[in-house]
């Protein structure tokens, strides 16, 4: 077997492990509360801003590579990955110190009354559609980002470009909808 083939197996193993471990860990950590630590309510606007910055970096990275500036593209993509990891860490930390906020809970008592449901109306359906698609695609984009990155660092640029055409819009959607979800839920934060 060639060295590239051995390296692919090593990377593939890590891609599979991370693609499963990250969502499982996040789901598990959602149920964990850090004792003695106050609610970190300052984090959601920070991680929403990180999502916005990630979207911006992704767009600029695509512009850079389309102009032939591969080095800038590479630096920007590494930045987008770091930003996504920072987002994930802050997101988990926030949820490990806070109960989930209910969309439409205007009196912030943690209970969604019939009148609160009626007040939000059809906007709640839009919110939940965006939220659910954001969550599912944020899970699904993990292997795409990792495969795209591995193909770049291993010099398989034809395959890299092919999967990047799929990865980019999904990752961009996840970053942008992360901001939208924050803006929609933020009036209901305690």
The structural domains of the chain, ordered by start, are: 3-188 (1.20.120)
Determine the average pLDDT of the residues in 94-104.
86
Quick check: 2 pLDDT over 50? Answer: no
pTM above 0.85, yes or no: yes
pLDDT value, residue 182: 96
Of the pLDDT bands very low, low, confident and very high (cuts 50, 70, 90), residue 1 is very low
SS (H, E, C) the chain: CCHHHHHHHHHHHHHHHHHHHHHHHHHHHHCCCCCCCCCCCCHHHHHHHHHHHHHHHHHHHHHHHHCCCHHHHHHHHHHHHHHHHHHHHHHHHHHCCCCCCCCCCCCCCCCCCHHHHHHHCCHHHHHHHHHHHHHHHHHHHHHHHHHHHHHHHCCCHHHHHHHHHHHHHHHHHHHHHHHHHHHHHHHHCC
Determine the average pLDDT of the residues in 146-166.
94
Determine the average pLDDT of the residues in 51-60.
98
């Amino acid at each position: 077997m060639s060295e590239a083939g051995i390296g692919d197996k090593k990377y593939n193993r890590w891609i599979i492990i991370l693609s499963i471990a990250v969502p499982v860990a996040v789901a598990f950590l959602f149920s964990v509360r850090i004792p003695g630590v106050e609610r970190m309510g300052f984090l959601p606007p920070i991680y929403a801003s990180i999502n916005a910055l990630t979207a911006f970096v992704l767009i600029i990275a695509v512009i850079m590579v389309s102009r032939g500036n591969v080095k800038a593209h590479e630096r920007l993509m590494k930045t987008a990955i770091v930003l996504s990891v920072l987002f994930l860490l802050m997101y988990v930390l926030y949820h490990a110190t806070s109960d989930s906020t209910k969309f439409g809970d205007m009196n912030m008592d943690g209970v969604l009354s019939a009148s609160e449901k009626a007040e939000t109306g059809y906007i709640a359906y839009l919110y939940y559609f965006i939220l659910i698609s954001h969550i599912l695609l944020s899970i699904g984009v993990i292997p795409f980002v990792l495969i795209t990155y591995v193909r770049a660092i291993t010099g398989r640029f034809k395959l890299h470009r092919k999967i990047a055409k799929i990865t980019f819009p999904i990752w961009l959607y996840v970053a942008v909808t992360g901001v939208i979800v924050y803006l929609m839920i933020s009036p209901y934060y305690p």
